[in-house]
Amino acid sequence: MHKIDIPQSVMEACKRRRGSSSVYDHLDPAKTALVVIDMQNSWLEPGLSVLEIPEARSIIPNINTLANKVRSVGGTVAWTQSTFAEPWTSAMYKGFCDEKWIRKIIAESAPGTHGFGICDRMDWHEDDITVTKNRPSALIQGASDLEARLRDRGCDTIIITGTLTNACCESTARDAAALGFHVVFASDGTATRSDIEHNATLINLMQLVADVRPTNEIMDMLS
């Protein structure tokens, strides 16, 4: 699991701005959704794909714990599955990645492949919301129908978990806030390539986007 390292100066700045290091004291379970971003085989299974994030395997227990808790108190659990089989992929990554890498991520996350599937270690339930997304953010226009499905269930609060912390998780959190959702970001329920990248996202989000909390505190907020 990532080593969390938030500078004291950032914590103090948050306290000056809002009077506390945290944002929310309590979550209304009926209006809360746990959103699990891309915990798929391509990201989790050792050696399967160039998309693999080894650290993501360490957050599986925390995500499952939160999923069980959210269901038990009457909340919603939602899962996203990413695919890159869209024209935007080559356009977005051109210049940042070579063509071979782009072709591999498209092939290794294509719907119907083993890599696309949600890892069987995840506590996925058939009656959870499950959406396919074709952009880093699950909530940007055209990416998926996640927003509409959450609104239909009366959700106004989203708990973000999954991978990658600084890519799809951060993108979804920012768009959720822009759409008016209250956002909680699980500091030990998200993962990426390195501690540096992980902490950079936590530092950015905690200031004006999300209430960044560890799993045990989120569990308390739901109780």
103-131: per-residue pLDDT in tens?
999 999 999 999 999 999 999 999 999 99
- Model confidence at 85, pLDDT cuts 50, 70, 90, reads confident
3-state secondary structure the chain: CCCCCCCHHHHHHHHHHHCCCCCCCCCCHHHEEEEEECCEHHHHCCCCCCCCCHHHHHHHHHHHHHHHHHHHCCCEEEEEEECCCCHHHHHHHECCECHHHHHHHHHHCCCCCCCCCECCCCCCCCCCEEEEECCCCCCCCCCCCHHHHHHHCCCCEEEEEEECHHHHHHHHHHHHHHCCCEEEEEEEEEECCCHHHHHHHHHHHHHHCCEEECHHHHHHHHC
| 86 pLDDT more than 80 | no
List the domain boundaries for the chain. Answer: 8-82+119-222
CATH H-level superfamily of 8-82+119-222: Isochorismatase-like (3.40.50.850)
pLDDT at 68: 98
19-75: per-residue pLDDT in tens?
998 999 999 999 999 999 999 999 999 999 999 999 999 999 999 999 999 999 999
Mean pLDDT (the chain) is 96
pLDDT at 88: 81
